[in-house]
Amino acid sequence: QKEVEQDPGPLSVPEGAIVSLNCTYSNSAFQYFMWYRQYSRKGPELLMYTYSSGNKEDGRFTAQVDKSSKYISLFIRDSQPSDSATYLCAIPPPRNAGNNRKLIWGLGTSLAVNP
């Protein structure tokens, strides 16, 4: 089982829809969760991060962590065509993972918001 699983999609929604993007993870010791957004022909950019459980809101974006289910979500309200991109979850390993700590990346979900 991969440490982080993410459905690559593609996901296609009409403008104005609520979008739900998700990742599951296997290690209950993960505490910090990040979402990156990657536009076509660009590198990823950090969109949001959350620590431990709960929700974090930033404008139309909400990041949610459910540690009991080992499930993280990114919700986009009132989606816009400019939200069309690939969304990647990224999880840092816990401190006790040793020296070779590096971000664990999901495959990314490709989202298209149609006008």
Partner 1 sequence: KAGVTQTPRYLIKTRGQQVTLSCSPISGHRSVSWYQQTPGQGLQFLFEYFSETQRNKGNFPGRFSGRQFSNSRSEMNVSTLELGDSALYLCASSLGDRVIDEQFFGPGTRLTVL
List of residues 6+ apart from 15 with CB closer than 8 A: 79, 80, 81, 113, 114, 115
The site map against partner 1 for 15-44 (x = CB under 8 A) is -----------------x-x------xxxx
- Quote the tokens at residue 1: 């089982």
Q: With beta carbons less than 8 A apart as the criterion, state whether 84 and 112 touch.
A: yes
Least CB distance to partner 1 at residue 20 (A): 20
Q: Does 82 bind partner 1 (CB under 8 A)?
A: no
Interface region with partner 1, contact rule CB under 8 A, candidates 16-24, 52-60, 77-85, 88-96:
88-96
| Residue among 29, 24, 25 nearest 52 (CA) | 29
Site residues (vs partner 1, CB under 8 A): 32, 34, 41-46, 49, 88, 92-93, 99-103, 105-108
